[in-house]
Structure 1
Amino acid sequence: MSSRIDPFECRWRPSTWLLAAYLACLALAIAALLLAAIPPLWQILGLLLCLSHALWALPRQILLRSPQSFGALRHDNEGWQLWCPHQGWSPVQLCADSLALPSLIVLRFRLPGSLITRGLCLPADSLAPDEHRRLRLRLRFSRDRWAAPE
Protein backbone atom coordinates (compact mmCIF):
# COMPACT_ATOMS: atom_id res chain seq x y z
CA MET A 1 0.00 0.00 0.00
CA SER A 2 1.53 3.30 -1.02
CA SER A 3 1.24 6.36 1.13
CA ARG A 4 -0.13 9.47 -0.49
CA ILE A 5 1.48 12.75 0.47
CA ASP A 6 -0.76 15.79 0.37
CA PRO A 7 1.18 18.61 -1.27
CA PHE A 8 1.86 21.58 0.96
CA GLU A 9 3.33 24.97 0.10
CA CYS A 10 3.74 28.20 2.03
CA ARG A 11 5.35 31.53 1.21
CA TRP A 12 6.39 34.03 3.84
CA ARG A 13 6.95 37.76 3.99
CA PRO A 14 9.45 39.84 5.98
CA SER A 15 8.66 39.89 9.69
CA THR A 16 8.43 43.15 11.60
CA TRP A 17 9.02 41.25 14.88
CA LEU A 18 12.25 39.78 13.55
CA LEU A 19 13.39 43.18 12.28
CA ALA A 20 12.66 44.83 15.64
CA ALA A 21 14.46 42.07 17.55
CA TYR A 22 17.51 42.27 15.27
CA LEU A 23 17.73 46.06 15.48
CA ALA A 24 17.38 45.93 19.29
CA CYS A 25 20.21 43.38 19.55
CA LEU A 26 22.35 45.43 17.18
CA ALA A 27 21.76 48.57 19.25
CA LEU A 28 22.68 46.71 22.44
CA ALA A 29 25.87 45.36 20.84
CA ILE A 30 26.87 48.85 19.67
CA ALA A 31 26.12 50.35 23.09
CA ALA A 32 28.16 47.63 24.80
CA LEU A 33 31.10 48.33 22.48
CA LEU A 34 30.94 52.06 23.08
CA LEU A 35 30.62 51.70 26.87
CA ALA A 36 33.28 49.00 27.25
CA ALA A 37 36.64 49.95 28.68
CA ILE A 38 38.62 48.71 25.69
CA PRO A 39 41.06 50.48 23.37
CA PRO A 40 39.47 52.62 20.63
CA LEU A 41 40.96 50.39 17.92
CA TRP A 42 39.00 47.40 19.26
CA GLN A 43 35.85 49.52 19.52
CA ILE A 44 36.20 50.57 15.87
CA LEU A 45 36.86 46.97 14.82
CA GLY A 46 33.78 45.80 16.74
CA LEU A 47 31.63 48.54 15.21
CA LEU A 48 32.83 47.58 11.73
CA LEU A 49 31.97 43.94 12.41
CA CYS A 50 28.49 44.94 13.62
CA LEU A 51 27.96 47.08 10.53
CA SER A 52 29.18 44.38 8.14
CA HIS A 53 26.93 41.78 9.77
CA ALA A 54 23.95 44.12 9.48
CA LEU A 55 24.71 44.78 5.80
CA TRP A 56 24.88 41.02 5.19
CA ALA A 57 21.98 39.81 7.37
CA LEU A 58 19.32 42.47 6.78
CA PRO A 59 18.74 41.92 3.04
CA ARG A 60 19.24 38.12 3.12
CA GLN A 61 17.64 36.95 6.35
CA ILE A 62 15.30 39.66 7.58
CA LEU A 63 14.05 41.89 4.75
CA LEU A 64 14.18 39.03 2.17
CA ARG A 65 15.29 41.36 -0.65
CA SER A 66 18.35 39.40 -1.78
CA PRO A 67 18.11 36.84 -4.62
CA GLN A 68 19.72 34.32 -2.25
CA SER A 69 17.06 34.66 0.47
CA PHE A 70 14.63 31.78 0.88
CA GLY A 71 10.98 32.77 0.60
CA ALA A 72 8.91 29.58 0.35
CA LEU A 73 8.77 25.96 1.46
CA ARG A 74 6.92 23.06 -0.06
CA HIS A 75 6.47 19.38 0.68
CA ASP A 76 5.27 16.91 -1.92
CA ASN A 77 6.16 13.47 -3.28
CA GLU A 78 9.70 14.71 -3.99
CA GLY A 79 10.26 15.71 -0.34
CA TRP A 80 10.97 19.11 1.22
CA GLN A 81 12.05 21.98 -1.02
CA LEU A 82 12.95 25.62 -0.42
CA TRP A 83 12.56 28.39 -2.98
CA CYS A 84 14.81 31.36 -3.62
CA PRO A 85 14.76 33.69 -6.65
CA HIS A 86 18.37 32.86 -7.55
CA GLN A 87 18.07 29.04 -7.72
CA GLY A 88 14.36 28.31 -7.78
CA TRP A 89 13.20 25.20 -5.90
CA SER A 90 16.03 23.33 -4.17
CA PRO A 91 15.62 20.02 -2.32
CA VAL A 92 16.60 20.18 1.35
CA GLN A 93 16.94 17.83 4.29
CA LEU A 94 15.30 19.12 7.44
CA CYS A 95 17.29 18.65 10.64
CA ALA A 96 15.94 17.16 13.84
CA ASP A 97 16.75 20.33 15.79
CA SER A 98 14.08 22.30 13.92
CA LEU A 99 11.63 23.91 16.33
CA ALA A 100 7.92 24.55 15.86
CA LEU A 101 6.33 26.71 18.56
CA PRO A 102 3.03 28.62 18.39
CA SER A 103 4.76 31.98 17.94
CA LEU A 104 7.96 30.91 16.19
CA ILE A 105 9.27 28.31 13.76
CA VAL A 106 13.02 27.73 13.56
CA LEU A 107 13.62 25.69 10.45
CA ARG A 108 17.04 23.99 10.35
CA PHE A 109 18.00 22.42 7.03
CA ARG A 110 20.88 21.16 4.92
CA LEU A 111 21.21 21.55 1.17
CA PRO A 112 22.34 18.43 -0.74
CA GLY A 113 26.10 18.04 -0.85
CA SER A 114 26.64 20.59 1.91
CA LEU A 115 28.07 19.85 5.34
CA ILE A 116 26.79 23.14 6.76
CA THR A 117 23.32 23.36 8.25
CA ARG A 118 21.42 26.58 7.80
CA GLY A 119 18.47 28.05 9.62
CA LEU A 120 15.39 30.13 9.01
CA CYS A 121 13.45 31.97 11.67
CA LEU A 122 9.75 32.34 10.87
CA PRO A 123 7.87 34.35 13.51
CA ALA A 124 4.08 34.19 13.57
CA ASP A 125 3.74 37.49 11.67
CA SER A 126 5.69 36.21 8.65
CA LEU A 127 2.86 33.87 7.59
CA ALA A 128 -0.90 33.98 7.72
CA PRO A 129 -2.09 32.39 11.00
CA ASP A 130 -3.62 29.39 9.23
CA GLU A 131 -0.46 28.77 7.17
CA HIS A 132 1.74 29.10 10.25
CA ARG A 133 -0.38 26.51 12.07
CA ARG A 134 -0.38 24.15 9.07
CA LEU A 135 3.41 24.40 8.75
CA ARG A 136 3.88 23.70 12.47
CA LEU A 137 1.66 20.63 12.21
CA ARG A 138 3.43 19.43 9.06
CA LEU A 139 6.81 19.82 10.73
CA ARG A 140 5.71 17.95 13.85
CA PHE A 141 3.81 15.05 12.31
CA SER A 142 5.22 14.44 8.83
CA ARG A 143 6.53 10.89 8.54
CA ASP A 144 9.57 11.62 6.39
CA ARG A 145 10.46 15.06 7.71
CA TRP A 146 14.12 14.15 8.41
CA ALA A 147 14.66 12.13 5.22
CA ALA A 148 17.48 13.16 2.90
CA PRO A 149 16.40 14.35 -0.55
CA GLU A 150 16.84 11.84 -3.35
Structure 2
Amino acid sequence: MSSHSSQAFECEWNASGGLLALYLLMVMLAVITLLLLPLPSWLSVLGLLLCALHAAWVIPSHVLLCRGCSWLGLRHDQHGWSLRSREGGWQPVQLLPDSIALPLVVVLRFKLPGDWFSQGLCIPRGAMTPEQHRRLRLRLKFSRRRWAAPE
Protein backbone atom coordinates (compact mmCIF):
# COMPACT_ATOMS: atom_id res chain seq x y z
CA MET A 1 0.00 0.00 0.00
CA SER A 2 1.49 3.36 -0.98
CA SER A 3 1.73 6.31 1.36
CA HIS A 4 -0.22 9.39 0.33
CA SER A 5 2.59 11.61 1.59
CA SER A 6 4.92 10.24 -1.10
CA GLN A 7 2.57 11.41 -3.87
CA ALA A 8 2.96 14.93 -5.24
CA PHE A 9 0.52 17.49 -3.89
CA GLU A 10 -0.20 20.92 -5.32
CA CYS A 11 -2.76 23.60 -4.50
CA GLU A 12 -3.42 27.19 -5.47
CA TRP A 13 -5.52 29.93 -3.90
CA ASN A 14 -7.15 33.21 -4.83
CA ALA A 15 -7.74 36.48 -3.03
CA SER A 16 -10.23 36.21 -0.19
CA GLY A 17 -12.93 38.80 0.46
CA GLY A 18 -13.22 37.60 4.05
CA LEU A 19 -9.52 38.19 4.69
CA LEU A 20 -9.80 41.68 3.18
CA ALA A 21 -12.79 42.50 5.40
CA LEU A 22 -10.98 41.21 8.49
CA TYR A 23 -7.84 43.20 7.67
CA LEU A 24 -9.81 46.41 7.05
CA LEU A 25 -11.67 45.90 10.35
CA MET A 26 -8.37 45.54 12.23
CA VAL A 27 -6.92 48.66 10.59
CA MET A 28 -10.09 50.58 11.40
CA LEU A 29 -9.85 49.50 15.07
CA ALA A 30 -6.19 50.60 15.16
CA VAL A 31 -7.08 53.99 13.66
CA ILE A 32 -9.96 54.50 16.11
CA THR A 33 -7.68 53.57 19.00
CA LEU A 34 -5.04 56.06 17.84
CA LEU A 35 -7.66 58.79 17.58
CA LEU A 36 -9.20 58.09 21.00
CA LEU A 37 -6.02 57.68 23.02
CA PRO A 38 -4.68 60.80 24.74
CA LEU A 39 -1.45 60.89 22.71
CA PRO A 40 0.55 63.87 21.49
CA SER A 41 -0.65 64.84 18.02
CA TRP A 42 2.70 64.02 16.39
CA LEU A 43 2.52 60.48 17.77
CA SER A 44 -1.06 60.00 16.56
CA VAL A 45 -0.10 61.26 13.08
CA LEU A 46 2.92 58.92 13.04
CA GLY A 47 0.70 55.98 14.03
CA LEU A 48 -1.87 56.83 11.35
CA LEU A 49 0.88 57.13 8.75
CA LEU A 50 2.29 53.74 9.74
CA CYS A 51 -1.18 52.19 9.50
CA ALA A 52 -1.63 53.65 6.01
CA LEU A 53 1.81 52.48 4.86
CA HIS A 54 1.21 48.99 6.23
CA ALA A 55 -2.17 48.78 4.47
CA ALA A 56 -0.63 50.06 1.21
CA TRP A 57 1.89 47.19 1.32
CA VAL A 58 -0.20 44.35 2.78
CA ILE A 59 -3.47 44.73 0.85
CA PRO A 60 -2.05 44.38 -2.70
CA SER A 61 0.67 41.84 -1.90
CA HIS A 62 -0.82 39.59 0.80
CA VAL A 63 -4.59 40.05 0.62
CA LEU A 64 -5.51 40.83 -3.00
CA LEU A 65 -2.50 38.87 -4.37
CA CYS A 66 -2.00 41.26 -7.29
CA ARG A 67 1.75 41.89 -6.95
CA GLY A 68 4.35 39.74 -8.65
CA CYS A 69 5.81 38.73 -5.28
CA SER A 70 2.49 37.39 -3.94
CA TRP A 71 2.48 33.70 -3.04
CA LEU A 72 -0.18 31.88 -5.08
CA GLY A 73 0.47 28.15 -4.72
CA LEU A 74 2.02 25.42 -2.58
CA ARG A 75 3.52 22.16 -3.77
CA HIS A 76 4.90 19.13 -1.95
CA ASP A 77 6.84 16.48 -3.86
CA GLN A 78 9.94 14.32 -3.42
CA HIS A 79 12.11 17.47 -3.21
CA GLY A 80 10.12 18.99 -0.35
CA TRP A 81 7.85 22.03 -0.10
CA SER A 82 7.74 24.84 -2.68
CA LEU A 83 5.79 28.08 -2.98
CA ARG A 84 4.88 29.77 -6.28
CA SER A 85 4.82 33.46 -7.11
CA ARG A 86 4.27 35.14 -10.48
CA GLU A 87 7.73 36.62 -10.77
CA GLY A 88 9.76 33.90 -9.02
CA GLY A 89 7.96 30.73 -10.10
CA TRP A 90 8.32 27.73 -7.80
CA GLN A 91 10.78 28.33 -4.97
CA PRO A 92 11.82 25.74 -2.37
CA VAL A 93 10.90 26.62 1.21
CA GLN A 94 11.28 25.13 4.65
CA LEU A 95 8.04 25.02 6.62
CA LEU A 96 8.42 25.89 10.27
CA PRO A 97 6.84 24.07 13.24
CA ASP A 98 4.73 27.09 14.21
CA SER A 99 2.60 26.67 11.07
CA ILE A 100 -1.07 26.08 11.91
CA ALA A 101 -3.73 24.16 9.97
CA LEU A 102 -7.22 24.94 11.30
CA PRO A 103 -10.61 24.43 9.62
CA LEU A 104 -11.08 28.17 9.01
CA VAL A 105 -7.52 29.15 8.15
CA VAL A 106 -4.09 27.76 7.37
CA VAL A 107 -1.17 29.88 8.56
CA LEU A 108 2.09 28.85 6.93
CA ARG A 109 5.34 29.94 8.51
CA PHE A 110 8.32 29.32 6.26
CA LYS A 111 11.87 30.28 5.38
CA LEU A 112 13.36 30.65 1.95
CA PRO A 113 16.86 29.14 1.60
CA GLY A 114 19.49 31.68 2.59
CA ASP A 115 17.05 34.04 4.34
CA TRP A 116 17.64 34.93 7.97
CA PHE A 117 14.04 35.72 8.79
CA SER A 118 10.91 33.64 8.44
CA GLN A 119 7.78 34.73 6.60
CA GLY A 120 4.10 34.05 7.14
CA LEU A 121 1.22 33.32 4.84
CA CYS A 122 -2.48 33.20 5.70
CA ILE A 123 -4.74 31.01 3.55
CA PRO A 124 -8.39 31.33 4.66
CA ARG A 125 -10.97 28.69 3.83
CA GLY A 126 -12.66 30.94 1.25
CA ALA A 127 -9.48 31.31 -0.84
CA MET A 128 -9.82 27.81 -2.34
CA THR A 129 -12.41 25.09 -2.69
CA PRO A 130 -13.38 23.38 0.58
CA GLU A 131 -12.01 20.05 -0.67
CA GLN A 132 -8.65 21.57 -1.58
CA HIS A 133 -8.45 23.38 1.76
CA ARG A 134 -9.18 20.10 3.59
CA ARG A 135 -6.50 18.29 1.58
CA LEU A 136 -4.00 21.05 2.36
CA ARG A 137 -4.72 20.82 6.09
CA LEU A 138 -4.35 17.03 6.04
CA ARG A 139 -1.11 17.21 4.07
CA LEU A 140 0.33 19.75 6.49
CA LYS A 141 -0.66 17.73 9.54
CA PHE A 142 0.39 14.26 8.40
CA SER A 143 3.20 14.54 5.84
CA ARG A 144 6.53 13.05 6.74
CA ARG A 145 9.52 15.35 7.19
CA ARG A 146 7.31 18.41 6.89
CA TRP A 147 9.82 20.60 8.74
CA ALA A 148 12.84 19.44 6.74
CA ALA A 149 14.94 21.95 4.86
CA PRO A 150 14.58 21.83 1.04
CA GLU A 151 16.95 19.53 -0.80
Calculate the TM-score normalised by the size of structure 1: 0.96
- How far apart, in 2, do the equivalents of 1:41 and 1:101 lie? 41
- How far apart, in 1, do the equivalents of 2:40 and 2:109 lie? 38
- Correspondence 1:95-114 to 2 at 5 A: 95-114=96-115
Runs of 4+ in 1 over 3 A off after TM superposition: none
Residues matched between the structures, number: 149
Aligned to 1:27: 28
CA shift digits 1:47-77 (9 cap, x unpaired): 1000000001101110101101100000111
SS at match of 1:92: strand
Structure 2: give runs of 5+ residues left out of the alignment. Answer: none
Amino-acid identity (%): 52
Tell me the CA shift for residue 121 of structure 1: 0.6
Q: Quick one: which amino acid aligns to residue 31 of structure 1?
A: I
Aligned to 1:67: 68
Calculate the TM-score normalised by the size of structure 2: 0.95
Aligned to 2:132: 131
Tell me the CA shift for residue 110 of structure 1: 0.5
Tell me the CA shift for residue 115 of structure 1: 1.6
Tell me the CA shift for residue 103 of structure 1: 1.0
- How far apart, in 2, do the equivalents of 1:114 and 1:70 lie? 16
- How far apart, in 1, do the equivalents of 2:146 and 2:39 lie? 47
Tell me the CA shift for residue 16 of structure 1: 1.2
Aligned to 1:49: 50
Q: Report the RMSD for the aligned CA atoms in angstroms.
A: 1.4
